[in-house]
Chains A and B, each alone.
Chain A
Amino acid sequence: MAEATATRIPENLTAGGRRKRVRVNGSAVVMTAYLVFLMLPIYWLLNMSLKTNTEILSTFSLWPQNPTLANYATILTDPSWYMGYVNSLIYVGLNTVISVTVALPAAYAFSRYSFLGDKHLFFWLLTNRMAPPAVFALPFFQLYSSVGLFDTHIAVALAHCLFNVPLAVWILEGFMRGVPREIDETAYIDGYSFPRFFVKIFMPLIASGIGVAAFFCFMFSWVELLLSRTLTSVEAKPIAATMTRTVSASGLDWGVLAAAGVLTIVPGALVIWFVRNYIAKGFALGRV
């Protein structure tokens, strides 16, 4: 880190040579402390997931004395555990596809055209991102029960559209604003129809935006618990709900719980590297 910060110092503002040194170390210390603070609880979860339950309860150690993968084996061989992951991945995948597909044309409309009520509509979409899931839990439960969708993957996928569709529209609009209009006009002059232009020319131009929108839809659907738990019982029960039910059971196996937690972090941790330069843009709904 000292190296990295040292390179930026010349164009920075501190005057004297001695003060420079102090600042370099200062930044490195602050960042190290902050990252340690972030990583410590995650490390502890990982540490516990590699211990047996007896070791967790009998001895206190900073790292596993006899590292074991038994907890992971339990999860990956027991259908009541691993089906939780499968269910979660199914509805998250469905939701991502639905959200991004409907958001693409809408975001294009918002970024290119002005039409009656566009600004109000845009804000109204945001209000759905703000809506507390707790408000919607009961009505969703009754709505999906009455149309026979309770405990299906599609029910959760549709429910998560509540906050993911607005999110996708806002993020995509942010990316589309950056594409010059001349491209659209040239394509129309060249005789492209709107759908052909959109798929062949426009979508490749905002490919990174689509990736970012998909990533954030995936993530917000993946981390949500309240709605997915309310709308499912057995068939589509997500991993998050499986975990909370274990928590409330007596005689709880901390090792397995920790391993299940570690496995839920893996999908996000795998993808984050590819979108690292867009994290701020995605979280800020494309406004950065």
Chain B
Amino acid sequence: MEKTPNQKAWLLVLPVLVLVCFSAIIPLMTVVNYAFQDSFGNNQFFWAGLMWFEDLLASDRMWNALGRQVVFTGIILAIQVPLGVFVALHMPKKGPWVSVCLVLMALPLLIPWNVVGTIWQIFGRVDIGLLGYTFDKLGIPYNYTQDFFSAWATLIVMDVWHWTSLVALLAYAGLKSIPDAYYQAARIDQASRWKVFRYIELPKMAGVLTIAILLRFMDSFKIYTEPFVVTGGGPGNATTFLSIDLVKMALGQFDLGPAGAFSLMYFLVILAVSWVFYTVMVNLEKRES
């Protein structure tokens, strides 16, 4: 749609701007402030330059947390995107079951994140949880508070449980927008199931899948509550992702300088990757219209 140039539109945006400045710019500037200064208490601050950033780049702690984060996000994207598309392809397209499927699938998305943690914390316990109990009876060693592998597996399955429906719902919305004529044409051409998926369904889903991947990337990259409740970052530091480490540093140890530098770099990574996805998304939208 053509838009009319109108500079007065700024007035309509003004309330949002003021509010977001208050809730985003001021706090962000505080972080910047900390990142470049050192404090010895008593509210006395000294210019520290790039000291914290240099420390950070040399510290194993940050790189380890970043590494764990990248591995976690990579694994869950690799599982959730194909699985979500697979589920979407099998969803009913008409009839009363559509609503039932939509509502049941959306349910995990609406559960408070700490309750998601609580659910899996209970579910995986060897003494009272269905999952843990079953593993125990089958003789499979499983203990998410002690064992590295169990902890990771629990968190990944939990995230798949929590968010795969989002990918599925978005992919389903993309699939529904495909006119029947496309399928009819494919049938006349005797296209195989795979070809229909590859040349009709996948291109039509490209736009929504980009959004799905963008959302899943940024939300999984800032995951905090669920692993905090289930494993608390343990065993050891095995599941200490970026947010958990940052909160430990900032609110636990009150290391303002390093935490500020950490925050800025964390934010920049998310921003950079999101910008790439956003550009792809906008280009796809342009091509479609």
Contacts and interface: CB of A to CB of B under 8 A. Distances in A.
Interface of A: 1, 3-5, 7-8, 11-15, 26-27, 30-31, 34-35, 37-42, 44-45, 48, 56-57, 60, 62, 98, 101-103, 105-106, 108-110, 112-116, 118, 121, 123, 125-143, 158-159, 161-162, 165-166, 169, 177, 181, 219, 222-226, 230, 239-240, 243-244, 247, 254, 257-258, 261, 264-265, 268-269, 272-273, 276-277, 279-281, 283-285, 287-288
Nearest to A59: B128
B64 interface: no
Contacts of A106: 12-13, 15-16
Given A4-B98, A223-B112, A130 B180 contact: no
Contacts of A135: 28, 31, 246, 263, 266-267
Interface stretch (B72-80, B145-153, B218-226): B218-226
A225 B223 CA distance: 11
Given A11-B183, A116-B10, A284-B212, 20 more contacts: A13-B191, A35-B105, A38-B107, A38-B108, A42-B108, A102-B15, A105-B15, A108-B12, A113-B3, A125-B20, A128-B20, A134-B222, A134-B244, A143-B27, A226-B225, A261-B118, A269-B107, A277-B102, A280-B173, A283-B109
Contacts of A128: 20, 23-24
Given A131-B270, A134-B222, A272-B107, A105 B120 contact: no
Interface residues of B, number: 110
Given A41-B120, A114-B6, A272 B106 contact: yes
Interface in B234-289: 242-244, 246-247, 250-251, 256, 259, 263, 266-267, 270-271, 274-275, 278, 281, 285
Contacts of B271: 127, 130
B95 interface: yes
Given A4-B96, A243-B115, A181 B1 contact: yes
A98 B20 CA distance: 12
Given A4-B97, A56-B128, A113 B119 contact: no
B90 A26 contact: yes
Interface in B1-56: 1, 3-10, 12-13, 15-17, 19-20, 22-24, 26-28, 30-31
Contacts of A115: 5-10
Query: Closest 6 CB pairs between A and B?
Result: A268-B110, A4-B95, A139-B27, A132-B222, A280-B173, A109-B12
14 contacts: A8-B93, A98-B19, A112-B9, A130-B274, A132-B221, A138-B259, A140-B27, A143-B26, A158-B19, A225-B113, A258-B118, A261-B119, A268-B111, A276-B103
B172 to A, nearest CB: 7
A30 B16 contact: no
Contacts, number: 315
Contact of A287 (B24, B26, B120, B281): B281
Contact of A45 (B119, B191, B193): B119
B71 interface: no
Interface in B91-145: 91-99, 101-115, 118-123, 127-131, 133
B199 interface: no
B70 interface: no
Residue of B20, B93, B211 with most chain A CB atoms under a 10 A cut-off: B20
Contacts of A265: 107, 110-111, 115
A76 B8 CA distance: 51
A222 B118 CA distance: 16
Contacts of B251: 137-138, 141, 230
Given A222-B112, A257-B118, A3 B107 contact: no
Contacts of A257: 118, 122
Contacts of B26: 139, 143
A27 B92 contact: yes
A103 B16 CA distance: 6
Nearest to A56: B128
B87 interface: yes
Given A5-B92, A37-B161, A125 B7 contact: no
A277 B207 CA distance: 19
Contact of B5 (A7, A114, A132): A114
A268 B103 CA distance: 10
A12 B271 CA distance: 41
Contacts of B12: 105-106, 108-109
Contacts of B208: 280, 284, 287-288
Given A261-B115, A272-B110, A287-B211, A13 B186 contact: yes
B170 interface: yes
Contact of A44 (B22, B122, B127): B122
B20 A269 contact: no
B8 to A, nearest CB: 8
Nearest to B278: A123
